[in-house]
Amino acid sequence: MERRVVITGGSAITPIGHAKGDIVNSLINGISGVKPLRSDHLLTDYIHSRVFGTVDYAVEYDFKRRFRKTMGPVAYYACQVVKEVLEASGLTEDFITSGRLGVAFGSTHGSPTVQRSIYKKFFSRSRTEFGAIGAVDYLKSMVHTTAVNITKMFGITGRVISSSTACTTSSQSVGFGYEMIKFGIQDAMICGGADEYDTTTVAVFDNLLACSTAFNDTPDLTPRPFDANRDGLVVGEGGGAILLEEYESARKRGAVILGEIIGFACNNNGGDLILPNVDGIKETLRLGLASAGIAPDDVDFVCAHATGTKMGDIIEAMAIHRIYGDSPYVAALKSYMGHIMGTCGVVETLLTLYMMEKGFIAPTLNLDEIDSRCAMIRHVTGILDEKIGIAAIQNFAFGGVNTCIILKKFEN
């Protein structure tokens, strides 16, 4: 028997704020978290893009040393948001450690700053440098470092899933966590993703000519999803987590229910590893609706992946139109934060929940002149006093990986 899956907690560290109030304020008032790229690495001399979605405020960590010693920066983000979710959840320690709670959490690279330090020592001609590689350096840097540091810190013994599929990392985490509960494998899942600041991440996309470069002197004016003057994505950093639970157990323990996940789809384009594919994306959106058992007209809001790249935005707009026509409102939340990589799916899910709760839809920032090739969908260009009943959060990644999460405002 398939079970209902509800969201009972969430936390995010983002370029537009940490606390819910700060994030909502940024969405309502059009405040961007995109700032000048830090000039803290030799690579910055060769990078054309000089902007970054930056967490520029202090985050208070109080982790004990026995946990810190296996954590790189990405694990700090991950463990902090999970700590905040679990502390607010009301779950007992007995439940958290019982095996009934699992973790689905990932990152794009693990910790690139730690990896870079390791490689520098590996290729050093100095025996002293080589010998300075620590016993726990791999644990800090490995791709699944977020998931396993979470299990270590909180004593979680249930199922562990650590997706690492670039931009769909945390949306897969949420979707796979949803399926774990829906089909009775786990009773609860802590799901999310994190990615840290590192100049090498910017360099990768800059080298692919995918980054924004025309607004280096005015960072808050980029990215520009669906806009005629968009010129690429903006890399960002952050972490996000949500707690998923089986509905009946959440209701019985009196948990505050924020929303309900009613569908999830994930598929692959089966072709080019970089260029998006309209048919592959269209099929993902169709499968998401089928999973939720709803019609296209039932969806009020589409949270678009929309990174601000030339072709990506056009192909996504085409796919949305082929499935939905011009019915649902469409907005791109990356316009506020940049592309926070493996974190984007869970954060965009959480921000959509905030908009559901508060009864508004935030516009796509910097959408001053809609590209005629993207104009067939219902763009949000100003703050809307509209209630969202059902939303679709869609994300697409290099490798042709596509995801769609169907989110519903909670009703008993």
pLDDT in tens, 69-120: 999 999 999 999 999 999 999 999 999 999 999 999 999 999 999 988 888 7
Q: What residue ranges define each of the domains in the chain, with the CATH number in brackets?
A: 5-408 (3.40.47.10)
Flag the least confident range among 131-135, 290-294, 390-394: 131-135
- pTM score, whole prediction: 0.96
Q: What would the pLDDT profile of 174-211 be if each residue is shown by its tens digit? A: 999 999 999 999 999 999 999 999 888 899 999 999 99
Q: What would the pLDDT profile of 153-181 be if each residue is shown by its tens digit? A: 999 999 999 999 999 999 999 999 999 99
Distance CA 171, CA 374 (A): 24
Contact between 262 and 408 (Cβ < 8 Å): yes
Count of C-beta atoms within a 10 Å radius of residue 129: 13
Peptide bond into 112 cis (omega under 30): no
Flag the least confident range among 77-86, 120-129, 259-268: 120-129
Residue 123 confidence (pLDDT) above 80: no
Mean pLDDT, to the nearest integer, of 342-359? 98
Distance CA 348, CA 339 (A): 11
Q: What angle do CA 317, 269, 318 make, to 5 degrees?
A: 15
Residue 132 confidence (pLDDT) above 80: no
**pLDDT at residue 76, as a whole number:** 98
Strand-by-strand arrangement of the 160-161 sheet: 160-161, 101-106, 188-195, 238-246, 5-13, 259-268, 401-408, 390-397, 301-303, 329-331, 378-379
CA-CA-CA-CA torsion sign (286, 288, 291, 294): negative
**Mean pLDDT score across all residues of the chain:** 95
Bridge-based pairing state of the strands 390-397 and 34-36: unpaired
Q: What would the pLDDT profile of 3-20 be if each residue is shown by its tens digit? A: 999 999 999 999 999 999
Contact between 226 and 332 (Cβ < 8 Å): yes
Flag the least confident range among 245-254, 257-266, 268-277: 268-277
**pLDDT at residue 130, as a whole number:** 60
Residue 28 confidence (pLDDT) above 80: yes
Count of C-beta atoms within a 10 Å radius of residue 126: 9
Count of C-beta atoms within a 10 Å radius of residue 257: 17
- Band (pLDDT 50/70/90 cuts) for residue 59 is very high
